[in-house]
Amino acid sequence: MTKAAQIPGAITHAADSPPTPPPSPAPTSDDETYDICIVGGGPGGLATLSAAIEPYSKDKMGRDNVKNAYASGLATKRTAPKVCVVDPGDTWMHTWHERFKALQIKWLRSPMGAHPDAFDVNSLLAYATSTGRAHDMFDSGVDVKKFRTVREAHSGLLELPSNKLFEDFCQDLAARLPHTFVRGKVAAIQGPDGDFSVSLEGGRKLKAKAVVLALGVPGPAACPAELVKVPARFLFHSDDKLGGRLQELGSARKKEVLVIGGGLTAVQVAQLAVKKGCSKVFLASRRPLVTRHFDVGEGWFDTRQGSRNQSEFFDEPLEKRAAAAKAARGGGSVPPLYMRGVQELETQGRLSRKVGEVQVTSVNDDSVEVTINGRVQKFDLIVNACGHRPDCLQLPVLRELQRVEPIEIVGGFPSLTPDLQWGSFKQLFVIGALASLQVGPDAGNLMGLSRAAQMATDAMDINSFSKYKNSNQSVQGWYQTNRFAEAFDSDSDSDSDSDTDSDSDGEIEIERAVEIPCAA
């Protein structure tokens, strides 16, 4: 693979790249013209880069077709598209890295089979093995008998990668895929379709034939109504400054902490507060915590059942899909590993769990007084760990797009085409949590991202798998018909049975969300 192209003001993904100063305006030139512009340098952006650059996906082809692909020289004949990735961070996975660091998360919730390499579901496992990192894999006690994809379970694909392993893998993957990394924040995308102008804050403009928006969260922080009037000195969202404010936990005046939320992030914040020496830590949720390995049920992992679930999901009218996705995620859940930790801390008297309504009764100079189930408690700090509220038009890029090319918004999510396009723009795609209505309950996690990235790049018709298919009718295109029909076909090649679903952290936790912005 060639190295990433160097353009003025752009940085490559090399691990030793020095920090880049903030972006400065630069004129558009041929150097700034791309086949594909990916907006967002998280796992979704990386999955898109991988799907765009790889000549084909081994996972999406049967065993015979992989042989045909090699035999036809598919991989070597293809000219890779020219791709740029735009992100405000100084390198790939900046947002992910900061979040995981702030919460001191050691293990991913999702398994080894979930990662952004579009070529091969086994890539992360192979990376761990080839770099002698078996100690970076954790058997979290998933009952493999419950998974009909037992072959995968036994091969380690259901074990959890450490975050260090996962981040190293992503950096390694990015370094192998030619692209240009542009540091900046996209302010607007303008047409015409197929000849987009991507405007960055600061005035710089890029040109691209296709654009993929991999922006991450589907809207602003969710804020329980009862917290709206709490001043920012006593309250922050767990994702505020990408978790930066979590540093306040345990500091001299922040010893008594209330964490609100019913998903994994809330548990991680509560555990962090204990670890940082807070003398009183309460974890309050409206409903009891639900224990579950992954944030979608095990049925979503089974190849056939998962495909059936997907199929049923797409049979629902759009209006019902947001609720169906939420139901499939169980409204936020906590893996057994973390539940055991919570129970231990409770037994030691270092953490109290409360189920019920929280009412803020008064805000004092140095504390907030709240009532939980009728009992008054004082806290120095409240951490809102209720995830993000789907409200895509709060994101400036989408608000601007909606102005020029209005589409239906359902439950806060954009109503994209089945190929994840925005309205009549055939070359403008949205992936990630924002694409929940078209991708399914796992849209915001690593498995859903990979699927979406593949869908978008397939629809661009830039990958040679499609070219190969067009020139030689012998290749079976799984995506040309019902994407999920293959799994119901008893003759289907088991090699392509890799469409496992996994968890997210409950990124979209709307348990207590209301339509009002936080005062904090």
Ligand X SMILES: Cc1cc2nc3c(=O)[nH]c(=O)nc-3n(C[C@H](O)[C@H](O)[C@H](O)COP(=O)(O)OP(=O)(O)OC[C@H]3O[C@@H](n4cnc5c(N)ncnc54)[C@H](O)[C@@H]3O)c2cc1C
Give contact residues for ligand X (rule: CB under 6 A): 39-45, 86-89, 94-96, 99, 103, 108-110, 114, 185-186, 214-216, 265, 397, 432, 444-446, 449, 502-505, 507
Residue 236 and residue 520 in contact, taking contact as beta carbons nearer than 8 Å: yes
C-alpha 333, offset from chain centre: 16
Find the length of the chain: 520
CB of 300 to ligand X, least distance (A): 13
Q: Tokens 């660091």 map to which residue?
A: 101
Nearer to ligand X, 61 or 85 (CB): 85
Nearer to ligand X, 55 or 113 (CB): 113
Nearer to ligand X, 108 or 456 (CB): 108
For residue 479, the tally of other CB atoms under 10 A from its CB is 16
SS3 432: helix
CB of 519 to ligand X, least distance (A): 23
Could you give the CA distance from residue 427 to residue 48 in angstroms, rounded to a whole number? 14
Nearer to ligand X, 62 or 216 (CB): 216
Nearer to ligand X, 87 or 136 (CB): 87
Nearer to ligand X, 186 or 230 (CB): 186
CB of 182 to ligand X, least distance (A): 9
Cα angle 117-264-159, degrees, rounded to a multiple of 5: 45
CB of 511 to ligand X, least distance (A): 15
The residues that bridge with 83 in the sheet, in sequence order, are 36
Q: What is the DSSP string of 479-507?
A: TTS-TTHHHH-TTS-GGG----------S
Contact partners, residue 517, CB within 8 Å, separation at least 6: 220, 223, 228
CB of 387 to ligand X, least distance (A): 8
Nearer to ligand X, 85 or 462 (CB): 85
Nearer to ligand X, 214 or 370 (CB): 214
Could you give the CA distance from residue 82 to residue 453 in angstroms, rounded to a whole number? 16
Cis peptide before 220 (omega within 30 of 0): no
Cis peptide before 231 (omega within 30 of 0): no
Q: Which two tokens stand for residue 108?
A: 């991913």
Could you give the CA distance from residue 73 to residue 254 in angstroms, rounded to a whole number? 62
CB of 432 to ligand X, least distance (A): 3
CB of 53 to ligand X, least distance (A): 17
Closest CB to ligand X belongs to which residue?
Answer: 42
Residue 39 and residue 213 in contact, taking contact as beta carbons nearer than 8 Å: yes
Contact partners, residue 130, CB within 8 Å, separation at least 6: none
Nearer to ligand X, 81 or 243 (CB): 243
CB of 155 to ligand X, least distance (A): 19
Nearer to ligand X, 185 or 207 (CB): 185
CB of 446 to ligand X, least distance (A): 3
**Burial class of residue 356 (count of CB atoms within 10 Å of its CB; 0-12, 13-18, 19+):** middle
Could you give the CA distance from residue 403 to residue 155 in angstroms, rounded to a whole number? 49
Residue 259 and residue 284 in contact, taking contact as beta carbons nearer than 8 Å: yes
CB of 85 to ligand X, least distance (A): 9
CB of 488 to ligand X, least distance (A): 26
Residue 174 and residue 123 in contact, taking contact as beta carbons nearer than 8 Å: no
Residue 232 and residue 384 in contact, taking contact as beta carbons nearer than 8 Å: no
CB of 321 to ligand X, least distance (A): 18
Residue 422 and residue 190 in contact, taking contact as beta carbons nearer than 8 Å: no
Nearer to ligand X, 185 or 467 (CB): 185
Nearer to ligand X, 210 or 360 (CB): 210
Nearer to ligand X, 120 or 357 (CB): 120
For 397-420, give the secondary structure using H, E and C: HHHHHHHHCCCCEECCEECCCCCC
CB of 199 to ligand X, least distance (A): 10
Could you give the CA distance from residue 363 to residue 371 in angstroms, rounded to a whole number? 12
100 sits in the region (left: phi over 0; alpha: psi -120 to 50; else beta) called alpha
